[in-house]
Amino acid sequence: MTKKSAINFKGIIIAALIVTALILSAGCTGEAPSEAESAETSAITPEITPAGAAEPLTEETPEKLIIGEEELVSFVDMASQFANENGEESAFAEYNKKDGIFSKGDLYIYAYDFEGVLLAHPYQQDKIGTDRLDWTTANGLEFVRAAMDTAENGEGYVMYMYPAPESGIINEAESSEYIPKIGYVKKVNENLWIGSGIYLRDYTDSKTGAMPEAIKNMRELVEETVQFAEKNGDEATLKEIDLTDGQFTKGNLYDYAYDYNCTMLAHPYMPEKIGTNLKDYTGPYGVKVISVLAETAKNGGGYVVFGWENPENDNKPELKLGYVKPVNDKWWVGSGVYLSDLY
Q: Is residue 167 part of a domain?
A: yes
Confidence of residue 36 (pLDDT cuts 50, 70, 90): very low
Mean pLDDT, residues 39-48: 34
Mean pLDDT, residues 51-58: 39
Q: Is residue 51 part of a domain?
A: yes
Contact indicator for 240, 248 with CB cutoff of 8 Å: yes
Same domain (yes/no): 180, 242: no
Same domain (yes/no): 258, 335: yes
CA angle 79, 149, 170 (to 5 degrees): 55
Q: Is residue 181 part of a domain?
A: yes
Number of structural domains (the chain) is: 2
Q: Is residue 175 part of a domain?
A: yes
DSSP 19-42: HHHHHHHHHHHTPPPPHHHHHHHH
Same domain (yes/no): 146, 174: yes
Residue 49 above 90 pLDDT? no
Same domain (yes/no): 185, 239: no
Residue 7 above 60 pLDDT? no
Residue 62 above 60 pLDDT? no
Q: Is residue 207 part of a domain?
A: no
Same domain (yes/no): 86, 162: yes
Rounded Cα distance, 7 and 14, in Å: 11
Same domain (yes/no): 171, 233: no
Question: Which of 173, 202, 231 is a domain's end point?
Answer: 202
Same domain (yes/no): 331, 244: yes
Same domain (yes/no): 80, 28: yes
Mean pLDDT, residues 7-24: 39
Q: Is residue 208 part of a domain?
A: no
Chain center to CA of 175: 17
Across the chain, what does the average pLDDT equal?
Answer: 84
- In the chain, % of residues over pLDDT 90: 69
Question: Which of 202, 231, 250 is a domain's end point?
Answer: 202
Residue 8 above 80 pLDDT? no
Amino acid at 83: A
- What pTM did the predictor assign? 0.78
Res 286: pLDDT: 95
- Going by C-beta distance under 8 Å and a sequence separation of 6 or more, which residues neighbour residue 46? 12, 13, 15, 16, 19, 56, 57
Same domain (yes/no): 183, 327: no
Rg of the Cα atoms in the chain: 22
Same domain (yes/no): 177, 48: yes
Same domain (yes/no): 197, 274: no
Residue 13 above 80 pLDDT? no
Residues of the domain holding 43: 4-202
- Going by C-beta distance under 8 Å and a sequence separation of 6 or more, which residues neighbour residue 225? 237, 241, 248, 255, 327, 333
Question: Helix, strand or coil for residue 227?
Answer: helix
User: Which comes out higher in pLDDT, residue 321 or 342?
Assistant: 321
User: Which comes out higher in pLDDT, residue 1 or 291?
Assistant: 291
Backbone angles phi, psi at 308, to 5 degrees: -155, 150
**CA torsion angle 293 295 301 306 (round to 10):** -30
Best mean pLDDT range from 10-19, 20-29, 156-165: 156-165
Q: Is residue 78 part of a domain?
A: yes
Same domain (yes/no): 323, 276: yes
Mean pLDDT, residues 233-250: 98
Domain CATH for 164 = 3.30.450.20
Res 206: pLDDT: 61
User: Which comes out higher in pLDDT, residue 87 or 42?
Assistant: 87
Res 214: pLDDT: 92
Q: Is residue 63 part of a domain?
A: yes
Residue 47 above 80 pLDDT? no
User: Which comes out higher in pLDDT, residue 3 or 229?
Assistant: 229
Question: Which of 159, 177, 202 is a domain's end point?
Answer: 202
